[in-house]
Amino acid sequence: MVEAVRGMAYVPGIGRGALTRRARPGTILLTDQTTLLDVRARPGGCLLVNGAPFSHATIALLSRGIPTVILGADQTERLCDGIEVTIDGATGWVLPADVAAPALTPTPPPAPTPVLTQDGCHVELRASARDVTGVGQARDRGAAAVGLVRTEFLLPDGDTVPDAVFYRASFRAICEAAAPLPVTLRLLDLAPDKHPAWANALPRGNTLGRQGVRLFDHPLIRQVVLAQLEAIANLCGEFPVQILVPYLTNVEEFLRWRAMIDERLSGKAVAVGAMIETPAASMLVDRLARVADFVAIGTNDLMQCFYGADRDDPAVAAYLNPYSPALYRFLRTLAQQADHHIDRVQLCGVLSQLPGTLQVLLGLGYRAFSVDAVHLPYLATTVGEASYAACRELAAEVCAATTSGVVSRLLGVPEFIPTNANADLPLDSS
């Protein structure tokens, strides 16, 4: 008899169907990280074996809204092709048809306006998106704003270099789909693992740090960024648009590019934000907040740098532990340094979407989160059932914990111990 197993809840939603290793509608795909990028069809759900939760390939499951649970290889030994299963992407349960099921998680209604804790603390739940469809879903599910548009995923047909005409049409479609919500457009953020065909002139290879604003001096990238700014200048008087500068390292770098942005926008009033994705920039959050209109903290890349582990490599996935107390001590330091600027700080990335983490982040002082649209109603429910006072107590306990196992028990979630592809690597990053 096949037993129920519980893995890491990743993309909420209920999926039912027969297990298969070939993605087909109405089935549950059993796959691993190496084949995930080749998945084109939309299955009814996904069981990801030894997945890297912060990798670009896995994050694509979030944007597609495919109910997903991440399992270790040992948890799938008795899950055979063809058996009927139900997966609950909000709790992490995988339930064979002949096993008594715990209560499945119903889909909550759209997030209310405003989103408040039980004791009246206001929390801004914004949405991250990569296309018009994602933006429309965010609005329909109650997003307070579109906190991050990943403009590098907007691509013209035929692998041609995107120009101002293309971006005017693309950005307008996004703003119209979001209306009346404010929209933050992140300027082009290419990286070795986000490398469209039109950018083949750039060096390839997994080179840490060759991304974001650091590429803006390359003639081709500069040409595309200027095209984005021309399109924004054309739209900013009509829609509530903001600009986000990606992968900054220091204040001087931000000031340099902000001057260029202001020049290109010819004095039009557009808020310009600084994106923090490295520990070095994090330690300047107070200074960046003074010169930028807002700050976004990109937790995916930040955790990669913090742990010194490639977020796209399943072999080191166990190091990027979202339940390590060291991570929350670090994020507490950032919140303390931001001080009275904390209301202009937005957390982006997967971290706040994982089970149990949002309450801790609230307790550390963060109030604005940009998440994938599929998570919005679920996180709004989490906020509505929480109290700020209890979140503060929980955050203090998490920061005082000695291991990630203690944190997992405090949060009531399965311990984060993915099976590594490299057996020599330790499994607990705490």
Give tens-digit pLDDT for 53-89: 998 888 888 888 999 999 988 888 888 889 999 999 9
Q: Which residue type is seen at 295? A: V
Residue 129: is its pLDDT beyond 60? yes
DSSP state at residue 141: T
Least confident range from 45-49, 54-58, 117-121, 227-231: namely 54-58
Q: What is the pLDDT, as a whole number, of residue 312?
A: 85
Least confident range from 32-46, 159-173, 371-385: namely 32-46
Per-residue pLDDT, averaged over 201-227, amounts to 86
Answer for the pair 199, 160: CB distance below 8 angstroms, yes or no: no
Residue 419: is its pLDDT beyond 70? no
Answer for the pair 149, 186: CB distance below 8 angstroms, yes or no: yes
Q: Residue 276 forms beta bridges with which residues?
A: 248, 297
Is the entire prediction scored with pTM above 0.85? yes
Q: Which CATH number fits domain 115-411: 1.10.10.10, 3.20.20.60, 3.40.50.720, 3.10.28.10?
A: 3.20.20.60
d(CA 299, CA 302): 5
Per-residue pLDDT, averaged over 8-21, amounts to 94
Residue 98: is its pLDDT beyond 80? no
Rounded to the nearest angstrom, the gap between the alpha carbon of residue 414 and the centroid of all alpha carbons in its chain is: 21
d(CA 397, CA 280): 26
Least confident range from 117-131, 254-268, 415-429: namely 415-429
Instruction: Tell me what the pLDDT averaged over the chain comes to.
Output: 91
Q: Which two tokens stand for residue 49?
A: 């074996």
State the distance between the two ends of the chain, measured CA to CA, in whole angstroms: 36
Q: Which residue type is seen at 399? A: C
Residue 403: is its pLDDT beyond 60? yes
Work out the pLDDT band at 39, boundaries 50, 70, 90: confident
Q: Which two tokens stand for residue 371?
A: 């998440």
Instruction: Using DSSP bridges, classify how beta strands 146-150 and 122-129 pair: parallel, antiparallel or unpaired.
Output: parallel
Question: Between residues 371 and 52, which one has the greater pLDDT?
Answer: 371
Residue 421: is its pLDDT beyond 60? no
Per-residue burial over 408-417, b = 16 or more CB atoms within 10 Å of its CB, e = otherwise: bebbebbbbb
CATH 3.50.30.10 location in the chain: 5-96
Q: What is the pLDDT, as a whole number, of residue 337?
A: 97
CATH 3.20.20.60 location in the chain: 115-411
Quick check: helix, strand or coil at residue 234? helix
Q: What is the pLDDT, as a whole number, of residue 424?
A: 42
Residue 422: is its pLDDT beyond 50? no
Per-residue pLDDT, averaged over 378-405, amounts to 97
Answer for the pair 146, 183: CB distance below 8 angstroms, yes or no: yes
Q: What is the pLDDT, as a whole number, of residue 427?
A: 39
Residues belonging to the chain: 430
Fold assignment, 5-96: Glucose Oxidase; domain 1 (3.50.30)
